């Protein structure tokens, strides 16, 4: 928290002194009432002690407001940037007669279709129903790299305020004005729609109960004090009450919640509710999609395996030529593998490498193979084993012995076999060999899963692959379990089984078929690039569409819970030291034996009480950076976390006030009227 941030938060902090705002926090409201009462007494019966206590009680309320204002203020710059993306946007709405109407983006309704071409801003959230285009989403995600959005798949969703960079798309609007993701983000980062979570409400009830208990205790203290001949002033009783109630956590509770949501926004994750953030911290089972999450997203060629009668360079040249015009990541990886193993000179010695007059054979789900027909009459094919065997057999060719065993062996190892065949003019087709395609597990993913395991979180890889392939990849990645050949129904069944055991489940998804499971999961993270059904079903949306971010979301949730617990422990532990400062000071004149409790050797009763009040206010300001940044989360078991929490924040909460109050007393004891 720098000086500029604090300066910008002060006006909001003063505005929040309004009792209509303060009463939302019962603990701070009690301090506010005490501030009003001591202010009246300071006016009627002015003294250095009374005026100082009144001022520092107001400072306590103000510092609590500063904590909340700073947390809210962190999102204002981002909100202003997001608002700029929707200012003055116009839309080319398609009319029923096929024409176009130019309307304001705010006038669009659900179901309207609009045309967006290169250089134009998408006027509202929707789905691409026609065309494919490159889209700049940096206004929302902050990432400069463009993304592809196209109709008919799980990458059809577009966000209002983003810019089309190429081509032309037709978008069907799916949200009402004022309810777009940008509008939701603005409300989120400003804290306008932040609702208290169940844990936060429960903690507020606990703090309120403690406040009532201490209020009754302090009220009951005065009759005993009067009976002992040492009746206490109202100012002293108010100071005692404020120092004993958990003002520190009461002041920081709202800021901790807002900061936790803000950390998600900084990771480009839009949480629909604070409940989801807290649930992420308690998750015990993670369902992770294989492609793009555990693996790099596309299979890569890793090995060329020629059959008897074919050399490796012949297989490499055939696979190279057949893949030159293949735009898929798998095709490009075959080209890269052949070049890296044999060099471009050996592969480039074939005259027919130029595909200018060649006929390309694109892959289709029906044929399950692709290839090229060269001008010289040579035909090359690569694809699934059964499809290539059928193609070879259709030309009268024979499949070499050992082909089936080689293909089955590669599949059993968890890789994908891609069979390569060649047909020359006047000859039947012949199988040359097999290219091994391998799912590349992301670097470091096994270590991340090991970390999750240490946190007590079970990881399950969900994939449509067959069980052999899924288990091989699962072993390499280090997941705890695998759900192979997964269907939407099986995902739902797995989630419900986990939840019946009392576990919280998190999962990611982007397709319409993921929507039921996302809705069932306790933490459902939908990809922003996915369908509207997925985004509506989930309770979080990842604007970067990065499935691995689910692991980071769990960490943020745990950090939120740990921060709240740590500062609560620190706040309650603070009261022990303040007790030793105030109680002896109040009654040492009547019971001299209480001087033994004055272990800090404070100068006088008034300076002791004022020092405790000042420390009570200053500690709030000192802890604001920790509340905003969050307590550092070290992945470990619950027992280790509890031990660390007690040692660092419990013991620290006891020791710190003793040191702080003593240092403050050394200063205030020299003030006139406090000696």
Question: Tens of pLDDT along 476-528?
Answer: 888 999 988 777 788 888 999 988 888 889 888 777 777 888 888 888 888 87
Distance from C-alpha of 159 to C-alpha of 125, rounded to nearest angstrom? 4
Q: Answer yes or no: are the C-beta atoms of 194 and 257 closer than 8 Å.
A: yes
Distance from C-alpha of 221 to C-alpha of 214, rounded to nearest angstrom? 10
439 known member of a binding site: no
Residue scoring higher pLDDT (109 or 85)? 109
Residue scoring higher pLDDT (69 or 62)? 62
- 275-297: average pLDDT: 80
275 known member of a binding site: no
Percentage of the chain surpassing pLDDT 70? 85
Q: Answer yes or no: are the C-beta atoms of 628 and 74 closer than 8 Å.
A: yes
- 100-109: average pLDDT: 82
**Residue 312: pLDDT over 70:** yes
**Residue 199: pLDDT over 90:** no
**Residue 261: pLDDT over 80:** no
pLDDT, tens digit, 9 for 90 and up, residues 397-449: 888 888 888 888 887 777 888 899 999 888 888 899 999 988 778 888 888 88
Please give the structure tokens belonging to residue 195. 């609702």
429 known member of a binding site: no
- 7-26: average pLDDT: 85
Distance from C-alpha of 59 to C-alpha of 617, rounded to nearest angstrom? 6
Angle between helices 181-190 and 76-85 (to 10 degrees): 160
Burial environment of residue 601 by CB neighbours within 10 A (0 to 12, 13 to 18, 19 or more): exposed
Query: What values do phi and psi take at 357, rounded to 5?
Result: -105, 10
Query: What values do phi and psi take at 664, rounded to 5?
Result: -65, -40
Question: Which residues, including other chains, have CB under 8 Å from residue 38's CB and lie 6 or more apart?
Answer: 50, 53, 54, 57, 234, 235, 238
User: What are the C-alpha distances in Å from 312 to residues 126, 306, 309, 385, 424?
Assistant: 50, 5, 10, 19, 19
Query: Residue 83: its pLDDT value, please?
Result: 62
Distance from C-alpha of 409 to C-alpha of 388, rounded to nearest angstrom? 17
465 known member of a binding site: no
Q: Answer yes or no: are the C-beta atoms of 330 and 298 closer than 8 Å.
A: yes
Q: How far is CA 156 from the centre of its chain?
A: 22
Q: Is 122 helix (H, G, I), strand (E, B) or coil?
A: coil
Q: Is 377 helix (H, G, I), strand (E, B) or coil?
A: coil
Give the pLDDT band (50/70/90) at residue 71. confident
DSSP bridge pairs for 172? 113, 127
- Three-state SS annotation for 420-488: EEEECCCCCCEEEEEEEEEEEECCCHHHHHHHHHHCCCEEEEECCCCHHHHHHHHHHHCCCEEECCCCH
User: What's the N-to-C CA distance of the chain in angstroms?
Assistant: 36
| Of 617, 249, 284, nearest in space to 460 by CA | 284
Query: Residue 544: its pLDDT value, please?
Result: 77
DSSP 283-316: --EEEEEIIIIIEEEEEEEEEEEEPTT--HHHHH
Percentage of the chain surpassing pLDDT 90? 11
**Residue 154: pLDDT over 80:** no
522 known member of a binding site: no
pLDDT, tens digit, 9 for 90 and up, residues 358-391: 788 877 656 778 888 888 888 899 888 888 888 8
- 344-354: average pLDDT: 56
368 known member of a binding site: yes
Mean pLDDT is lowest, of 7-16, 77-86, 131-140, for 77-86
- 156-184: average pLDDT: 80
Mean pLDDT is lowest, of 213-217, 388-392, 605-609, for 605-609
- 312-321: average pLDDT: 87
591 known member of a binding site: no
Kindly tell me the number of DSSP H helices and DSSP E strands found in the chain: 24, 22
Residue scoring higher pLDDT (140 or 275)? 275
Distance from C-alpha of 254 to C-alpha of 620, rounded to nearest angstrom? 13
526: DSSP letter: E
User: What are the C-alpha distances in Å from 577 to residues 137, 250, 346, 421, 582?
Assistant: 53, 18, 81, 82, 9
- 216-226: average pLDDT: 81
Give the pLDDT band (50/70/90) at residue 144. low
DSSP 619-672: HHHHHHHHHHH-PPP----HHHHHHHHIIIIIHHHHHHHHHHHHHHHHHHTTST
Distance from C-alpha of 154 to C-alpha of 534, rounded to nearest angstrom? 9
Query: Residue 141: its pLDDT value, please?
Result: 61
330 known member of a binding site: yes
Distance from C-alpha of 647 to C-alpha of 615, rounded to nearest angstrom? 22
What is the set of domains in the chain, with CATH numbers? Answer: 268-294+442-553 (3.40.50.1000), 298-440 (3.40.1110.10)
Residue scoring higher pLDDT (549 or 180)? 549
Query: Residue 376: its pLDDT value, please?
Result: 82
Burial environment of residue 178 by CB neighbours within 10 A (0 to 12, 13 to 18, 19 or more): exposed
The arrangement of strands across the sheet holding 269-271 comes to 269-271, 540-542, 523-527, 505-509, 285-289, 458-462, 481-483
Give the pLDDT band (50/70/90) at residue 27. very high
**Residue 192: pLDDT over 50:** no
Angle between helices 467-477 and 403-412 (to 10 degrees): 50
Query: Residue 353: its pLDDT value, please?
Result: 47
Distance from C-alpha of 375 to C-alpha of 383, rounded to nearest angstrom? 21
DSSP bridge pairs for 526? 509, 541
Mean pLDDT across the chain: 81
Mean pLDDT is lowest, of 233-237, 294-298, 303-307, 574-578, for 294-298
Please give the structure tokens belonging to residue 57. 């009680």
Query: Residue 58: its pLDDT value, please?
Result: 95
- 136-140, 149-153, 646-650: which is most confident: 646-650
- 211-225: average pLDDT: 84
| Of 253, 252, 258, nearest in space to 624 by CA | 252
Query: Residue 377: its pLDDT value, please?
Result: 85
644 known member of a binding site: no
**Residue 583: pLDDT over 50:** yes
Give the pLDDT band (50/70/90) at residue 61. very high
**Residue 138: pLDDT over 50:** yes
Q: Is 218 helix (H, G, I), strand (E, B) or coil?
A: helix
Radius of gyration over alpha carbons of the chain, in Å? 34
Active site residues: 289
């Amino acid at each position: 928290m720098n000086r500029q941030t604090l300066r910008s938060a002060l006006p909001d902090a003063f505005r929040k002194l309004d009792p209509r705002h303060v009463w939302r926090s019962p603990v701070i409201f009690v301090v506010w009432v005490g501030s009003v009462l001591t202010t009246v007494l300071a006016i009627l019966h002015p003294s250095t002690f009374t005026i100082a206590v009144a001022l520092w009680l107001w400072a306590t309320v103000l510092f609590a407001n500063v904590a909340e204002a700073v947390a809210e203020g962190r999102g204002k710059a981002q909100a202003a940037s997001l608002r700029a993306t929707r200012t003055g946007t116009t839309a080319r709405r398609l009319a029923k007669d096929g024409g176009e109407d130019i309307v304001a983006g705010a006038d669009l309704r659900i179901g309207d279709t609009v045309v967006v071409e290169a250089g134009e801003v998408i006027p509202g959230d929707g789905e691409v129903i026609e065309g494919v285009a490159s889209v700049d989403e940096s206004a929302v995600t902050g990432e400069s790299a463009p993304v592809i959005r196209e109709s008919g798949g799980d990458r059809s969703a577009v966000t209002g305020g983003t810019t089309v960079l190429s081509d032309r798309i037709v978008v069907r609007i799916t949200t009402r004005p004022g309810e777009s993701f940008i509008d939701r983000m603005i409300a989120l980062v400003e804290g306008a729609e932040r609702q208290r979570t169940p844990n936060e409400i429960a903690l507020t009830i606990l703090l309120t109960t403690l406040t009532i208990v201490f209020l009754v205790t302090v009220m009951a203290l005065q009759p005993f004090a009067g009976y002992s001949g040492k009746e206490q002033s109202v100012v002293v009783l108010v100071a005692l009450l404020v120092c004993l109630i958990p003002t520190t956590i009461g002041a920081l509770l709202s800021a901790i919640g807002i900061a936790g949501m803000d950390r998600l926004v900084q990771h480009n994750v839009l949480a629909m509710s604070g409940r989801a953030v807290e649930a992420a911290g308690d998750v015990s089972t993670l369902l992770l999609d294989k492609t793009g999450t555990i693996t790099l997203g596309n299979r890569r060629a890793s090995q060329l395996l020629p059959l008897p009668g074919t050399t490796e360079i012949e297989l490499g040249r055939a696979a190279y030529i057949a893949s030159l015009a293949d735009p898929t990541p798998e095709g490009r990886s075959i080209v890269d593998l052949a070049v890296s193993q044999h060099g471009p000179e050996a592969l480039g010695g074939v005259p027919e490498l130029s595909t200018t007059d060649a006929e390309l054979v694109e892959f289709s789900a029906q044929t399950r193979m692709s290839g090229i027909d060269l001008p010289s009459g040579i035909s090359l094919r690569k694809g699934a084993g059964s499809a290539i065997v059928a193609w070879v057999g259709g030309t009268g060719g024979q499949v070499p012995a050992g082909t089936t065993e080689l293909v089955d062996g590669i599949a059993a190892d968890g890789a994908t076999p891609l069979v390569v065949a060649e047909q020359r003019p006047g000859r039947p087709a012949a199988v040359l060999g097999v290219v091994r395609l391998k799912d590349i597990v992301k670097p470091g993913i096994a270590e991340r899963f090991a970390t999750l395991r240490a946190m007590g979180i079970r990881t399950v890889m969900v994939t449509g692959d067959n069980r052999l392939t899924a288990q091989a990849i699962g072993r390499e990645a280090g997941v705890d379990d695998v759900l192979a050949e997964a269907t939407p129904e099986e995902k739902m069944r797995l989630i419900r089984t986990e939840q019946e055991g009392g576990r919280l489940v998190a999962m990611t998804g982007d397709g319409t078929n993921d929507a039921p499971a996302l809705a069932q999961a306790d933490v459902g993270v939908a990809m922003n690039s996915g369908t509207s059904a997925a985004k509506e079903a989930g309770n979080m949306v990842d604007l970067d569409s990065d499935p691995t971010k689910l692991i980071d979301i769990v960490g943020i949730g745990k950090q939120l819970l740990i921060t709240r617990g740590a500062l609560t422990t620190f706040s309650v532990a603070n009261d022990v030291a303040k007790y030793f400062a105030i109680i002896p000071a109040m009654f040492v004149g009547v019971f001299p034996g209480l001087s033994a409790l004055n272990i800090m050797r404070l100068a006088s009763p008034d300076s002791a009480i004022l020092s405790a009040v000042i420390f009570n206010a200053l500690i709030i300001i000192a802890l604001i950076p920790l509340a905003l940044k969050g307590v550092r989360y070290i992945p470990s078991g619950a027992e280790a976390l509890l031990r660390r929490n007690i040692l660092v924040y419990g013991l620290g909460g006891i020791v710190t006030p003793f040191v702080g109050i003593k240092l403050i007393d050394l200063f205030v004891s020299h003030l006139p009227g406090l000696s």
